[in-house]
Amino acid sequence: LPYDRRWEFPRHRLKLGVQLGAGCFGRVVKAEAVGLKKGSEETVKTVAVKMVRSEANVSAMEALISELKILVYLGSHLNVVNLLGACTKQIHKELLVIVECCRFGNLQTFLINHRTNFVNLVDEFGNLKMQDEMENLISWAFQIARGMGYLVSKKVLHGDLAARNILLADDGIVKVADFGMAKKMYYEENYEKGGQGLMPVKWMAIESLIDRIFSCQSDVWSYGVVLWEIFSLGRVPYPGMDVGHILMKEILKGYRMDKPELAPNFFGEMMADCWKSDPKERPTFSQMEEIICSHMESSVSSDYLNMNAPYAKLNQEKENATPKDQFGLAKLLREKSGTKSKKYATPRNSMFPMRSSKKVADSYL
């Protein structure tokens, strides 16, 4: 995948602020970008900036570069955290990836902090008591399915779909985020991850646990776990079960989580379908989007379609613009690492194999 120079943003126009989050290899800070939009050079916009920790290894930088290229390739969508720019000219010192700032944080933490607002929303028969809070939960499930459906249309699998990787923006909009483990699929429908790195076991499909096979269908399994997280109000999946061989053994034996009490019956059925052992028997994101939409007011679902129209227009404008500049980020990365090994001597598109030996832990930023 190439990098497009049109995303380049002047470093001096970016003022870094407080830290929003951090991981083993990278961190995210709040920032102010001046003149981010063409024609408004003095306008200040609040953004989020992803970067690698100064002490992190080359693999962490490699992972951030791959995420940047995935974001460039994806384009824009209402329910995906959108790329706004990048600072790559000083990659010897730093690489900054500028994305939308979602001021309400990740969905898991939001649900935990607001559990008291989501009570008594389902009657004893599992039927909805339509209140704003329940409508929000259903809306978020719908929007996540839409965002993931967009990824499928672009032949990108996420690989780490979880409530912690869904961000909540203004007006109740949720956005799929954190593409450090995402992959662009080329000629096959799935790929295999090697290595023994850190992996999100409780969100992984049965074929991913056994054979390290990942596909759009394994993302569907993860979506079922996200639904469980939403309607359990941010609780950890498989409560009381430790990550490891015991959990894997139980899943292989057919164990599946019960639907949370708060979840309407049709969501319970959807979760069960997402967790079918045969990936081919699982529903697609577009099918689940239609099912959820049928339980929403038509005016609400049409509103989301209208809200996505500017993003679709932006994608079309970029497709009609000048050809992409395939900037040599891999070369700069090789210079930064001081190595001339074959691993870093090829363009990044060849580092998106369907069968990868790259450790998943290195993708966590």
Catalytic residues: 160
Q: Nearest Cα to 229, choosing from 144, 287, 129?
A: 144
The number of residues making up the chain comes to 365
Cα angle: 197, vertex 180, 79; to 5 degrees: 140
Contact 128, 264 (CB under 8 A): yes
Burial-class residue 364 by CB neighbours within 10 Å (0-12, 13-18, 19+): buried
* Binding residue ranges: 21-28, 50, 164-165, 178
Q: Are 152 and 285 contacting, i.e. CB atoms less than 8 angstroms apart?
A: yes
137: closest CA among 172, 181, 164, 182?
172
What SS3 class is residue 204? coil
Which residues are annotated as part of the binding site for ATP?
21-28, 50, 164
Annotated binding residues for Mg(2+), written as ranges, equal 165, 178
Non-local (6+) Cβ contacts of 16 within 8 A are 29, 31, 49
Q: CB–CB of 29/47 below 8 Å?
A: no
Distance in angstroms (rounded) separating the CA atoms of residues 103 and 247: 35
Which of 217, 178, 214, 212 minimizes the C-alpha distance to 196? 212
Residue 335 amino acid letter: E
Backbone angles phi, psi at 105, to 5 degrees: 75, -160
The region, left, alpha or beta by phi > 0 then psi within -120 to 50, assigned to residue 85 is left
Contact (CB, 8 A) for 89 and 82: no
Establish how many alpha carbons lie within 13 A of residue 139's alpha carbon, considering only the half-sphere containing its beta carbon. Answer: 22
The number of angstroms, rounded, from the C-alpha of 134 to the middle of its chain's C-alpha atoms is 23
